[in-house]
Structure 1
Amino acid sequence: MSTRPEPWTIAEILRRTTAYFQEKGVSEPRTSAEVLLAHTLGLSRLDLYLRHDQPLTPAELARFKALVRRRAAGEPVAYLTGHKEFWSLDFLVTPAVLIPRPETEILVEASLEALKESSRESWFMENHPWGLEIGVGSGAVVTVLAKERPEIAWVGLELSFEALKVARENARRHGVAGRIHFVQGDLLSGIKPGPRFVLMVANLPYVSEYEWKHLPKEIRQYEPKKALVAGPDGLALLRPVAQNAHRYLRPGGWLALEVGLGQALPILKVLEKTGAYQHWETLRDYQGIKRVVRARRRHD
């Protein structure tokens, strides 16, 4: 008398997949397993535990195994699912854009704090306030800022046409497409100088060529190099923005830049040399790294 094989339940699949990912050296093995299985089944990660004894159909199992093989080879989870959470919102991502990082939420926090301080002053609403993000990528930062500060209109600059398509779709999905004007351009080349913006924010590439060679394989192999690397010292893009941003800021406006390890001091020196700022500071990320440089333009 033959016996039927035990069904592959959610709990058993998570256990086996986590062990397999650990064996393959996959980062965050349990989280990877949960996110991929939830994506396959159209469930939340919480649902996986509420339905832990639910078996998978053969078709579901086949789809999941295909994703597991790609993850074991190093492909990032966000590219496999096409989604990444940022600021508790769901964003679409493709291989054309850098995957949003948790530390970039520090940049958002720094920007919102600056806007809160400025909005208490009379000049802020004298003309309709505008903000600018340089290098929008997936659009995560400018979309969050537009949602959090609906009285401000935004410009989003991005060199990559493919990235702009992703950013526009994310803005549309989150209901702020009508308040963000996306422009294809290199750094500030598409914007005429003038005291226009109450905030300029940038999360530009800041990895050096040397650092690139030592990044994890899943980053080097799958994420766009142009969205990460900026010359020998990583400052090839940040430096000119720091040198010229004051030409676009309204008096009292703010500049907020995300920077890499050891880059805060060189950027602060550039800002100080312009003589255009009355105040500048750094903010640290969750690992204690100086991650954001924030400066306020002098009142004329």
Structure 2
Amino acid sequence: MSTASSTEKDWTVISLLKTSADFLKQKGFSDARLTAELLLAHVLELQRVDLYVNFDRPVSPKELAQFRELFRRRLSGEPVQYILGQEEFFGLKFEVNPSVLIPRPETELLVEQIIDDFSGEAGAILDIGTGSGAIAITLAKLLPQTQLTAVDICRKALEVAERNAMRHGVEARIRFLCLDALQPDFVSHFTQPFDVVVSNPPYIPLSEKESVPPDVRNFEPHIALFTDTGFEFYEKIARDARQLLRSGGKLYFELHADAHPKVQALLEEHGFQHLMFKKDYQGFVRLVRAESPVSA
């Protein structure tokens, strides 16, 4: 699709969708049709399905200009979620911007597992590296008796998370703290033990940086993606969790696709028991649940 033209044609919803999707496909975008639908629905303030109900609706020059601006941003590689300013996670819509990672379907596995383990029970949960707040806020919505603490090193990320908490009406049950989980005194900021510690930490080693898709590598926050080895947070959180968790409390991690063996060794080294690993939709081991030893 040409993003500028000296002679404008009359565009309808269906003609603009087809032309823009074809152009994106030629440029190698695998999500060409979906991208075109999402961008045009956003401009026209319609649901995606309504685009086809209104397939012959004319697109005004103002709407076309707005669409072209969003289209240019996608052509540059910017993720659709940042362009639209939101992403869906566990059926809930979350504000996202370049200060936070875009929530992934794989991370929903963490939430599902915690809900399965604690459904109907009150408890205290610590979310380390909360980003947009997707994990903590979803748990607050679905476990209404739970009190949560959500921490992140990035103040701008916490501002997004706080807005998301207010959006979903759970801000009174989540305490947001700006803390660095790698600092030696991290544990000292908490006076009461938690029933759950959960983290989707930065876990991509810098050696893999160039293999990460460009729309992730060039737009999402590196502080939430990369570490020197990929294991710094697993090691530190596993060590701290022995003090952060009550006796018998549970630790949950999202895992790098090939981190399973080393994280298992780390957890066992720090005395965790009853390790349970779970695969994602692509067959990779993506989460682990481990239990803190029960005091005698």
Distance in 2 of aligned mates of 1:30 and 1:164: 33
Give 2:146's aligned residue: 152
What's the secondary structure of 1:95's corresponding residue? Answer: coil
Give 2:16's aligned residue: 13
Aligned residues: 286
Residues 274-289 of structure 1 aligned to structure 2 (within 5 Å): 274-275=270-271, 277-289=272-284
What's the secondary structure of 1:283's corresponding residue? Answer: strand
1:260 counterpart letter in structure 2: H
Name the TM-score, length of structure 1 as normaliser. 0.91
The runs of 5 or more residues in structure 1 that have no matched partner are 120-124
Distance in 2 of aligned mates of 1:226 and 1:151: 32
For the 8 Å contact 1:200–1:249, the answer to whether it is kept is yes
* Match of residue 174, structure 1, among 168, 172, 181: 168
What's the secondary structure of 1:187's corresponding residue? Answer: coil
Give 1:270's aligned residue: 266
Give 1:45's aligned residue: 48
Give 1:122's aligned residue: none
Give 1:296's aligned residue: 291
Deviation at 1:6, TM superposition (A): 6.4
For the 8 Å contact 1:184–1:190, the answer to whether it is kept is no
Greater Cα shift, 187-196 or 259-268: 187-196
For the 8 Å contact 2:187–2:243, the answer to whether it is kept is no
Distance in 1 of aligned mates of 2:105 and 2:288: 17
Pair 1:135 & 2:138 matched: no
Instruction: Kindly report the root-mean-square deviation, in angstroms, between the aligned alpha carbons of the 2 structures.
Output: 1.7
Give 2:3's aligned residue: none
What's the secondary structure of 2:10's corresponding residue? Answer: coil
What's the secondary structure of 2:64's corresponding residue? Answer: helix
For the 8 Å contact 1:195–1:247, the answer to whether it is kept is no
Distance in 2 of aligned mates of 1:25 and 1:178: 45
* Match of residue 87, structure 2, among 76, 84, 89: 84
Name the TM-score, length of structure 2 as normaliser. 0.92
The runs of 5 or more residues in structure 2 that have no matched partner are 1-7
Give 2:250's aligned residue: 254
For each residue in 1:14-45, what CA deviation from the matched residue of structure 2 results, as whole angstroms up to 9, or x when unmatched? Answer: 11111011111123111111111111111111
Deviation at 1:191, TM superposition (A): 4.0
What's the secondary structure of 2:289's corresponding residue? Answer: strand
* Match of residue 93, structure 1, among 91, 96, 102: 96
2:128 counterpart letter in structure 1: I
2:276 counterpart letter in structure 1: E
Pair 1:165 & 2:162 matched: no
Give 1:114's aligned residue: 117
Pair 1:243 & 2:246 matched: no
What's the secondary structure of 1:25's corresponding residue? Answer: coil
What's the secondary structure of 2:217's corresponding residue? Answer: helix
What's the secondary structure of 2:226's corresponding residue? Answer: coil
Distance in 2 of aligned mates of 1:270 and 1:220: 28
Give 2:57's aligned residue: 54
What's the secondary structure of 1:103's corresponding residue? Answer: helix
Distance in 2 of aligned mates of 1:111 and 1:266: 23
Deviation at 1:69, TM superposition (A): 1.1
1:200 counterpart letter in structure 2: V
* Match of residue 34, structure 1, among 13, 34, 37: 37
